[in-house]
Amino acid sequence: MKDLGEVIERGRAQTQYPPVIRSDVTTYTQGSGALIGLQGAVSMLRGRAASDPTSWAAQADIHRIWCNSPPVAGGYVHYSWRFLVWHRAYLYFNEQILRAAMPSYAVSIPYWNWTVDLKLPWQYWGATNPLNDPTRVMTPTSQLDPAQTAVAGLLALTTFDAFGGTASAAGGLEVGPHNYVHRSVGGDMGAFATAGLDP
C-alpha cells in the first residue's frame, strides 16, 4: 500500500485547475463570462449520452444511487454525519467535470444564498436556459419562508452532532433549511432520486 502522503501529493500534482472561490449566483450578470461558462458547461454535459460518466445524467445518477438506494448496507448519505462530507466531495468532482467542459471560462458552481434571496434567482430560469429545470414547483415569483431558512440558531450550535449529524441521525442543517428548500423548489429537486438533475 502506498504511503498516504505520496497519494495526496500525486493527487495535488494531477489537479488541472487552481482552487476557486464560490460566488453568489446573483453576482452573475447577463452575458458575463461566469454565467456563459456555467451555462455552456451544463449544456455540454446535458448533451452527452447517459452512458458517458461525465454526462449530466450520469452525474445525477450518482446522487440517485447514494442518496436513494445505496449499493452497500448502511451507505445512505442522508440522515447522518455523511451528509455534509459526501455532498462536498460530490460537488467538487462535479465542478471539475464542468470546468473541463469549458476550460477557458474557469467554471465554478455558484451558490444560492436562500437565507437572503428568498426567490430562486433569475439565473436559473428561462425556457432555453440550461440551468432551468422545467419540473420545478417553485415559480420565478415564489418566495421561501424566511423563518424556515434562518440559520442563526444552527450556527450557534456548539457540537457537530447537533449541526451536522451523527452516525445514525441527521443534524439540524439537513432536517431544517436544507430539506425545506429542496421541498419548496420541488420537482426534480424535491426527491433524492432526481435532485441531481436540477442545476
Residue 113 CA to residue 102 CA, distance in Å, equals: 25
pLDDT band at 15 (very low <50, low <70, confident <90, very high): low
The grid cell for 59 is 452525474
Q: How confident is the model at residue 156, as a pLDDT?
A: 97
Q: How far apart are CA 92 and CA 4, in angstroms?
A: 20
- Summarised one tens digit per residue, pLDDT across range 154-182 is 999 999 999 999 999 999 999 999 999 99
Rounded to whole angstroms, the Cα distance separating 47 from 27 reads 27
Helices assigned H by DSSP within 78-167: 82-101, 146-149, 152-155, 160-164
Name the residue among 67, 92, 69 with its Cα closest to residue 82: 67
Q: Is residue 119 pLDDT above 50, yes or no? A: yes
Put simply, whether the predicted model's pTM sits higher than 0.95 gets the answer no
CA atoms of 56 and 199, how far apart (whole Å): 9
127: confidence class by pLDDT, cuts 50, 70, 90: very high
Three cell numbers, residue 13? 500534482
Cell 446535458 -> residue: 46
| Residue in 120, 104, 132, 129 with CA at minimum distance from that of residue 185 | 120
pLDDT digits over 134-145, tens only? 999 999 999 999
d(CA 165, CA 175) in angstroms, rounded, equals 10
